[in-house]
Amino acid sequence: MTTAHVKTAKGTRTRDRMLESAVVLIPRLGWSAVTARALAGHAGVRPGIIHYHFDSLEALLAEAAVGAVREALEYPSRQLESGISLDEGLHMFLAALDEFAPDEPVNLLFVETFLAAARGGVLRGELAQVLLDFRTRTARWLERVGFDGDADATAAVLAAAVDGLMLHRALDPGLTADKAFPVLRRALGTTAATEGSSP
Amino acid sequence: MTTAHVKTAKGTRTRDRMLESAVVLIPRLGWSAVTARALAGHAGVRPGIIHYHFDSLEALLAEAAVGAVREALEYPSRQLESGISLDEGLHMFLAALDEFAPDEPVNLLFVETFLAAARGGVLRGELAQVLLDFRTRTARWLERVGFDGDADATAAVLAAAVDGLMLHRALDPGLTADKAFPVLRRALGTTAATEGSSP
DNA sequence: GAAGTATTTGGACGAGCGTCCAAAAGATTC
DNA sequence: GAATCTTTTGGACGCTCGTCCAAATACTTC
């Protein structure tokens, strides 16, 4: 499995520092442009140490990315299960939009990880599972909160929309949570008439 | 600006072949993993020729990506202005979802281009303009078709949602247009009550 | 403080990178 | 068909890549 013969606190700290550097550099440089030397430089270590703590650079990136995504979803996940309302929940989803920080853009990390996973490898299965789990929790929350449409499909679209908004936000600073809220609020509204009419 | 001293049909063909190879390889390998040699190999030429037709590899990628995005939006753009209904338009937006082809995933090209643009450079301005233009056309179509809410914000969220769905689709083959349609249809429905109530 | 283990270094390895260029090859013009 | 212009080649350039490893260092245990 993952090479991780860490026995002392110092070793753990170095390992963690490299993981954190990966989380910073992946969005900044792009997944495949994060080199061993760039990462080591950012973490304040020599490149050689990478292969003491990890099997490969790619394994380091994958562990860092999935870990960051899992961690980023933990708090929202718990919130959803704490009985918050539909409006509160949607606000929480969109809060990530306005927390956009150019120096540590977690949103772009999400997208980079998505793309890296789409290219295949171990990442694909792991990330898919993390996201499916979160989507399921979102669907259960929707049901709990009184949504009476297809909760699973709605949760899937909501998650996709938030990711898409984070991506677009990177190019358009005017795309704030305030703007997006009413639109998505409508999608979460009481399930309306199934079909309109063509003029 | 872009080095392009093409004077014969043969030169044009070689140039185009390289642009097409970039469009194929960017989603497959990831933006920064498309090397001069990989691209030349796929296009059936020698790496040296890249700098005869383009200023740099990066310039080649940028021209290919923006060109592909612009081209991909051309048909939908014309459709929106041909008087199609709200339902027809939304179906068109989501059609891209089911056209997903693993061997030439245009959707992933979109996302890769987005990320490359977010990293800065000339790409950023160019892509932002192309997308803003398309978003504006979408907003005008929404107004024309009877949508009475904030058409600009709704168009922005719609575009983001479609991009996000394309991204998620790469990891979840079950995320089809049929599933997403009713959800987004609700977001485009007659603007509902502004706020719900918390229980 | 010696012995033993865990961690880190510094330098090396072959491979591949983007880019350049003189010369060859092909096309066009007269 | 010679002259001229355009396109392509093949090989080279200096550099950086991921990875490896023996030696040096830090830490823990006794």
d(CA A103, CA A69): 18
pLDDT of residue A199: 37
Chain centroid offset of residue B111 CA: 7
Contact B108 A131 (CB under 8 A): no
Contact A186 B182 (CB under 8 A): no
* pLDDT tens-place string over residues B67-114: 999 999 999 999 999 999 999 999 999 998 888 666 667 889 999 999
* pLDDT for B2 beyond 60: no
Task: Kindly give, in sequence order, each residue whose CB lies less than 8 Å from that of residue A8, ignoring residues fewer than 6 positions away.
Answer: none
Residue B23 or B105, more confident? B23
Chain centroid offset of residue A28 CA: 15
Residue A2 binned pLDDT confidence (cut-offs 50, 70, 90): very low
Would you state the structure tokens that stand for residue A21, as one six-digit string?
């550097």
pTM value > 0.85: yes
Alpha helices in A44-176 (DSSP H): 50-53, 57-80, 86-98, 106-118, 122-144, 151-169
Question: Residue A145 to residues A49, A76, A181, B144, B198: CA-CA distances in angstroms?
Answer: 49, 16, 17, 35, 9
* pLDDT for A101 beyond 70: no
B32 touches strand C (CB under 7 A): no
Mean pLDDT of the region B115-120: 92
pLDDT of residue B101: 67
Q: Which of A159, A163, A167 is nearest to A187 (CA)?
A: A159
Protein-proximal positions, strand C, CB < 7 A:
5-12, 16-22, 26-28
Is residue B81 within 8 Å of residue B141, measured between CB atoms? yes
* pLDDT for A4 beyond 70: no
* pLDDT tens-place string over residues A140-183: 999 999 998 999 999 999 999 999 999 999 899 999 999 999 99
Q: At what angle do helices A9-29 and A36-43 cross, to 10 degrees?
A: 120
pLDDT of residue A118: 93
